[in-house]
Structure formats: structure tokens, C-alpha cells
Chain A
């Protein structure tokens, strides 16, 4: 067998060095992103303290409306007070745990619920997307309802879900109240996944679907080998949105169903104590922000694992 002619236009000689310097560049980019992220945090704290220092005590009013908040310690505690408060006991009782510990425990509970909600929502979203891609009529019939579903306010149906849940009992197994919260979180999380995944599944080039047709490939094979891999670049932002929605859904659902162990209840009850302990109210807010960061970080990790499917995407 004759060997092929050498290809002088082959990009190989350049490939390796390009790849290596590209590697270095991603490290520099990562470091810069981390530094910029920290600077952003410092910037927010600086803005807060800056306004607090120079702003009028009564806040800024335009006519009757206060457009900027009061700068009293009650309305805007110092950043360091908020941080310091985290390390003090929750209550003045002798054996009380430090505040950060209570917030962390509650946040972990909420994270667990949000994860279940996200997983359920993602699964439902993916199934709906596959169904809509396979059956055109399903897309016409379902998509408007999926969009409409997101216009129902969460607090309107959260109590309904809870009361339904409390009536469910299967062979001695009782519907736990956290599951109601997870269901509501999944209700928010499924939407971006369904819409994003549908767009992704419909994204393959005609040349790829035709190629699979010439292979007489089944719809399932086309889905596995072409449509799902091609959907990854669309799916990752959808999963990120879904994760954020699951966290928000969890916190709001905890409040509106009266669930006691999560960070949602702390938000409400500490806000009630704010007149006497203003810095304390900020602790669960930090907890909720932490939840969001963990969720976003997890999806980013997922994206890194699937980077082979994101070739051609601008990095």
C-alpha cells in the first residue's frame, strides 16, 4: 500500500506549541479571574462602607421616596460587624453555638434539598426536551404550557404542594416536608433545562443528521451519538440557570411552606430580630449566597469535565 503524500499544509508543527502556550494562557486567565473576583468583593464592601461614611443619616430622599437607604448602624451595619457577628453565639444562652455554625448547618440542609430539586428538575427538563424533539406535536402542545408554568407565582402554589404532600402516605411511608420544598425547587429548575436542552437537541447541522440517515441509524442512535453531544454547549448554561433557580426555589419554598431546618427560616426569623441585632440578619444572607456559589461551581466543574463536547465554542 502506498503511503499518502506528506501534507505540507498540515498544522501539526504549530499545534503543540500553540496548545502549550494556550495552556499557560488559561492559567493566567484563571488567576486573573480569581483576582478580579476578589477585587469585586472588596469593591462591594468598599462601596458599602464608603456610602455609610459619607451618606446622610436619613438616607437620600427624592420627594417622599427614599432612593438610598439610611446609613445608621441599624439599617447598614459595618461589614466587619457582620463578619464578627458570625463568630459570636447565636443567642445569649450559655451553651449556644456560634452563629456561623447554625447558618452553615441550615445551608447544608438547604443545599441537599436544592440538589434533589435540581436533579429532579433536570431529569424532567431533559425528558421533556427529548419528547419535544422527537415528536413535533409535543413541542407545539407542551412548550406554551412550559412557558406559562413559570408565570405562576411560587408563593401561590407552595402551600398547595405542602398540603397535598402532607396527605400522601404510602404503606407507612409519609411524605416528608422537605420533599415538598424540593418539588417546588424542581418546578423552577426544570424550565431552563427543558428550553435549553430542546434548543441543543435541535442544533446539529443537517450534514450530521443526514449522515446518520445514510447509516440507517435509529432515532435513539442519532440522539446518543449526535444530538445529545451537540446539545452540551446549550445544556451547560441551562444547567447553571437551573441550579440557581433550584437554590432560589428552595429558599423561597422553605419560607412559604414553613419548613424549619433550612436557611430560609433563618432569613425570616433573624430579619425579625434585626432591630436588636442588625448584623445577625446578614448571616443567613451570606449563607444563601454561599449556596448559589456552590451550585454555580458544581455546574462549572461539570462543564470542565465535558470540555471535549464544547470544541468550537469560544473559550
Chain B
């Protein structure tokens, strides 16, 4: 089986007016086909930069990034990944349907095929009734669902998500997490998911990659052990195994064990 992402010995240095910033130092990471991997860490640990390197929105200063065995650039041109950012980034003058259709339009997909694919995606994210609405008529959660549908438009085998639920309220956020888990299970796509929420990372992922800043590097990788076939629902959030992993990730993040898991709740 071919790996979705293979990052080897990657460093990234930004040159700014006030000098050089070492965003990433010697980072290596492999994401398997269909695997859900979260990148977590404090601000400035380079987790977004790492995702942007995979997306070929930045180029590494050293090291290599491969996506499905190709260079990141080739993978971008071949549309091997779909992407969603913290802001939904919908075009305000386009309807929900037209926003989802944007990548298909740009890649010359025929009108009829486009329409059926958009209908399919709108149903997948539960927005069939809102196809003709404009983004300003939608709530933040709905906008983000449109963005996810758009990212899935070309059936990518890899999804890149940069804090997609970061701007949502807690309730919407938990619901979106369940939906994302369902959608990725349906599509079988690998996911690189940037977040700063520990429960979110544990809830969704097969593996949680913990990073630390200055310079950004991977300090530990925690396997959640929550299988792909485990339902991502409220029961999981309440389970002791879940709390245990949350505590483990928190300990890894803070570099010290936390007092009592029982007090941690969520």
C-alpha cells in the first residue's frame, strides 16, 4: 500500500525583516493510505506550515515532501488532495452549489456531471436544501460544511485541514467532528488535520502528532487505538479509553504528567 504523505528531514526557514524564523527543523512523518493524522501543538510550532508544505503552498528549505509517491508540486497539479482552511473561504457571490462546483468548473468537468456530483456532495454534508443559498445566509458551521464538500469535490484520497472547526462554537464543533468522522469513513481518504484542541485530535485521529515550537519539531506521536470502525459518537467521548488518550496527549504537550485523569474531564 502506498503512503499518502511521506515527509523526510524537512526544515523550513522564513526570512523576515527581523531575521530568520525557523518554523520547522528536521521533521519526518509518514501518513498511510486512509489514515487520519492530527497535528497538534502550541501556536508557532509550525503545524500549519507543515500542512502547507504538503499542499505545496510553501516549499521546504531542506528535506523532501512526497504525496502518493510524487513531489508535492506534482500532487497539487494532479489534484491529489482536497483542502479546507480555518475560514470557510467561500466565494460570497456564488451559491452553495456553485461554491462546491468551483474546483470541478476549473478542471473542465462537464455541466451534467458537475450537477450530479454537487447534489451528491451537498447531500453528504446535509445541505441539499440550501444549494441555492448564498454564504451570507448560512451559519458558520454550515459554511464550513460547504468548504468540506468543496474539498471533497474531486474525490481526493488525501484531505488537508487547517483548524477547520477553530472558529466554531463548542456544540457545532462537536457535531462537525462526528460528521467529518463519518465522511472520511465513507470516502476512505487519508486526512492531515491541524488543530489545537486535544479532545478533537484524539476523537478523530488514528495518530496524534505532538509538536513543539522554536524550532517546530515533532516531540511525540501517540496512537489513539480508536479504530476506523469505532463509531465517533457521544459514547466515545465518555469512554475511559478516550480520557486516557486525552491525558496522554496533554502530558506529551506539556512535557509533564498531569495530576489526575478524573479531574481533567473535558
Residues of A within 8 A of B (CB): 1-5, 7, 9-12, 15, 205, 207-208, 210-217, 221, 225-226, 229, 232, 308-312
- In the complex the two chains form, is B76's CB within 8 Å of A214's CB? yes
B242 at the interface (CB under 8 A from A): no
Within the assembled complex, what's the spacing in Å between the Cα atoms of A109 and B58? 57
- In the complex the two chains form, is B57's CB within 8 Å of A1's CB? no
- In the complex the two chains form, is B136's CB within 8 Å of A311's CB? yes
Can you identify 10 A-B contacts, CB atoms within 8 angstroms? A4-B126, A207-B89, A211-B83, A211-B85, A214-B81, A214-B83, A215-B107, A225-B106, A309-B93, A311-B93
Size of the B side of the interface (Cβ < 8 Å), in residues, is 44
Count how many pairs of residues, one from A and one from B, have CB atoms less than 8 Å apart in the complex.
86
- In the complex the two chains form, is A215's CB within 8 Å of B103's CB? yes
Q: B120 to nearest A CB, angstroms?
A: 9
**Given A15-B137, A312-B136, does the pair A216, B76 have CB atoms closer than 8 Å?**
yes
Contacts of A309 in B (CB 8 A): 93
Residue of A nearest to B153 (CB): A215
- In the complex the two chains form, is B91's CB within 8 Å of A226's CB? yes
Contacts of A11 in B (CB 8 A): 137-139
Contacts of B81 in A (CB 8 A): 214
B244 at the interface (CB under 8 A from A): no
Residue of A nearest to B52 (CB): A210
- In the complex the two chains form, is A3's CB within 8 Å of B126's CB? yes
B175 at the interface (CB under 8 A from A): yes
Within the assembled complex, what's the spacing in Å between the Cα atoms of A211 and B150? 11
Q: B170 to nearest A CB, angstroms?
A: 12
- In the complex the two chains form, is A215's CB within 8 Å of B79's CB? yes
- In the complex the two chains form, is B123's CB within 8 Å of A5's CB? no
Contacts of A213 in B (CB 8 A): 57, 76
**Given A5-B175, A5-B179, A221-B106, does the pair A12, B141 have CB atoms closer than 8 Å?**
no
Within the assembled complex, what's the spacing in Å between the Cα atoms of A92 and B134? 63
Contacts of A312 in B (CB 8 A): 92, 136
Max chain B C-beta neighbours (<10 A), residue from A4, A11, A217: A4
**Given A1-B124, A217-B106, does the pair A9, B141 have CB atoms closer than 8 Å?**
yes
Q: B145 to nearest A CB, angstroms?
A: 8
**Given A4-B126, A11-B139, A216-B76, does the pair A208, B89 have CB atoms closer than 8 Å?**
yes
State which residues 151-188 of B face A: CB under 8 Å. Answer: 169, 171-172, 175, 178-179, 182, 186
Within the assembled complex, what's the spacing in Å between the Cα atoms of A215 and B55? 10
Residues of B within 8 A of A (CB): 55-57, 76-77, 79, 81, 83, 85, 87, 89, 91-93, 102-103, 105-107, 123-127, 129-130, 133-139, 141-142, 145, 169, 171-172, 175, 178-179, 182, 186
Q: A21 to nearest B CB, angstroms?
A: 15
Residue of A nearest to B77 (CB): A216
Residue of A nearest to B105 (CB): A225
- In the complex the two chains form, is B139's CB within 8 Å of A211's CB? no
Contacts of B169 in A (CB 8 A): 9
- In the complex the two chains form, is A210's CB within 8 Å of B57's CB? yes
Q: A17 to nearest B CB, angstroms?
A: 13
Contacts of B93 in A (CB 8 A): 229, 232, 308-311
- In the complex the two chains form, is A211's CB within 8 Å of B175's CB? no
**Given A1-B123, A9-B141, A11-B138, does the pair A212, B92 have CB atoms closer than 8 Å?**
no
Residue of A nearest to B134 (CB): A311
**Given A10-B139, A210-B57, does the pair A215, B106 have CB atoms closer than 8 Å?**
yes
Q: B148 to nearest A CB, angstroms?
A: 11
- In the complex the two chains form, is A214's CB within 8 Å of B57's CB? yes
Q: B26 to nearest A CB, angstroms?
A: 26
Contacts of A212 in B (CB 8 A): 106
Within the assembled complex, what's the spacing in Å between the Cα atoms of A4 and B130? 13
Contacts of A225 in B (CB 8 A): 91, 102, 105-106
Within the assembled complex, what's the spacing in Å between the Cα atoms of A12 and B107? 32
- In the complex the two chains form, is A7's CB within 8 Å of B139's CB? yes
- In the complex the two chains form, is B130's CB within 8 Å of A12's CB? yes
- In the complex the two chains form, is B137's CB within 8 Å of A1's CB? no
Within the assembled complex, what's the spacing in Å between the Cα atoms of A250 and B161? 55
Contacts of A7 in B (CB 8 A): 126, 139, 141-142, 172, 175
For the complex of A and B, the 8 pairs showing the least CB-CB separation, nearest first, are A4-B126, A207-B89, A309-B93, A311-B92, A216-B77, A217-B106, A9-B139, A215-B106
